[in-house]
Amino acid sequence: MKRLATILSGCALALAFPVLAQEAMLPTPDAKSLGMGGVAMTTLSGSHALYGNSAMAVFSQMPSQVSSSYFGQADFDYYAVTGYYRFANVDLVQAGWRQYIRERGNNDMALDLGYARRIGERWSVGVVARYLHLKRYDETADALAADVSAAYSLPLEGVGTYATLRAGAKAGNLGGYLRGGGHTLPTDLAAGVALDTFLTDAHEVTVGVDAGYYFVPSAVRGFRMSVGAEYNLMQLVQLRAGYSYGERRDYYPSHASVGAGLRVLHLRLDFAYLFAAKGTPLRNTYCLSFGIDF
């Protein structure tokens, strides 16, 4: 059961970019966030808001979206598909599927359903329910968890051109196992702030920072912080870079990242590559996301 606890603890670390330690996990697969060092609480127009801050998606200008991602390296393959649909202009429903494939029969899967609602012009709230199924060559396990999030968006005057300040927070992985063992899914809390502004009509810059803390269990307890920036040329080409500090080397090690994006009509293509120390789970890790905005 100790081994099973380690596996499930890893899967529950899906706050801003949990990683692959000794056992399989389900990291956030949004290449835009990953390219900015894992900044996820304030990400707009990303590929998978459901796995970052679901409340922030309400402020996107797109009525609906479908996205897919591949995230991996030599030792594993990880796939994700999500979508959202806006109705009544203030309500958003979201759904997602993730699968993590490793050797020797390891096959982890998660289903997520989310709902977000805009409150007035500035605020929004969101909730995500999650079902986890972990399959190993010698055992299986199931768990239920939920995320609760909030977001805030404020246009700024006198700061650049069309500047916007965004803030977001999330309490993640509130839940537990469906059967026995006496284990507890890790509970985490994260918050972030971002500022984007147009330098000219063709040049936009976004900077953001996230901070979070994992509370339980003791194996993963610790602090992490992400900082990142994006340069957007004519809403067509994006360049990104960031850095993430992680207190737990085996679960969320420190790493740098770079990324790029391309927007053509309603199509999105994003790529991220992570630079982590030798011997850590994120070394030579990359992510590719593709999406359609309707």
Query: In this predicted model, what pLDDT tens digit does every residue of 151-160 receive, in sequence order?
Result: 999 999 877 7
Q: 265: alpha, beta or left, given left = phi > 0 and alpha = psi -120 to 50? A: left
Confidence category of residue 105, pLDDT binned at 50, 70, 90: low
- Whether 212 has a pLDDT exceeding 60, the answer reads yes
Asked if 53 and 151 count as a contact pair (C-beta separation under 8 A), the reply is: yes
**pLDDT exceeds 80 at position 136:** no
Which residue, 98, 164, 102, is CA-closest to 131? 98
Query: Phi, psi (5° rounding) for residue 54?
Result: -65, -30
Quick one: tokens of 112? Answer: 């997520």
* Residue whose tokens read 């706050």: 15
Q: Which amino acid is at 35?
A: G
What is the structure's pLDDT at 104? Answer: 65
Question: How far are the Cα atoms of 5, 25, 153, 159 from residue 42, in angstroms, in the given order?
Answer: 31, 23, 9, 19
Check pLDDT > 60 for residue 16: no
What token pair was written down for 23?
């056992």
Q: Dmax of the chain from CA atoms?
A: 61
Give residue 61's pLDDT. 84
Residue 2: in which H helix or E strand, if any? helix 2-12
Annotate 126-158 with DSSP letters as a single string: EEEEEEEEEE-SS-EEEEEEEEEEEEEEEEESS
Q: Which of 101, 29, 13 is nearest to 70 (CA)?
A: 29
The band of 181, judged by pLDDT with boundaries at 50, 70 and 90, is low
pLDDT in the model for residue 252:
81
Distance separating alpha carbons of residues 93 and 206, to the nearest angstrom: 26
* pLDDT value of residue 18: 37
Write the single-letter amino acid at 229: A
Is residue 22 over pLDDT 90?
no
Instruction: Give the phi and the psi of residue 74 in degrees, each rounded to 5.
Output: -70, -25
